[in-house]
Amino acid sequence: MLRIATLLIFLATPLAAHEPGIGPNGGMRVDASPYRVELVPSGTVVNVYVTMDDESAVDTLTMTGTAILLIGGKPVRAPLAPTTPGVLSADTGVEIPADVKGAIQITGADGKTVQAKF
């Protein structure tokens, strides 16, 4: 049983759930079950809009996270902190291009972490 379960774990490698699309705030939006996250760069600040899968609001005020963005050929790491309800922000200190590549990690109040790749 356990052997089969272990095999199934690596067979079912979660490559899916990262279908990019344009979100309501004009940024790239991807699924990060159970959330949907949208990455909106604005100057040197990156805003991450978080909703549930069904577009309902999420209390982001207890969330923390990390954004790693590829800016100017170098990875830039910045901690995400809640600003307004539903949004986590991070100031990278450098100008962020609109089509930035990167990944974010968000940890909820329950300690559960989700990741999204853009």
Q: Which residues bind other proteins (CB under 8 A)?
A: 1-3, 5-7, 9-11, 13-15, 18, 66, 68, 70, 73-75, 77, 101-103, 105, 113-117
Contact 80, 104 (CB under 8 A): yes
Nearer to other proteins, 6 or 42 (CB): 6
Nearer to other proteins, 62 or 113 (CB): 113
Nearer to other proteins, 15 or 56 (CB): 15
Between CA 55 and CA 107 the distance in angstroms is 19
Q: Tell me whether residue 61 is exposed, middle or buried, using C-beta atoms within 10 angstroms of its C-beta: 0 to 12, 13 to 18, 19 or more.
A: middle
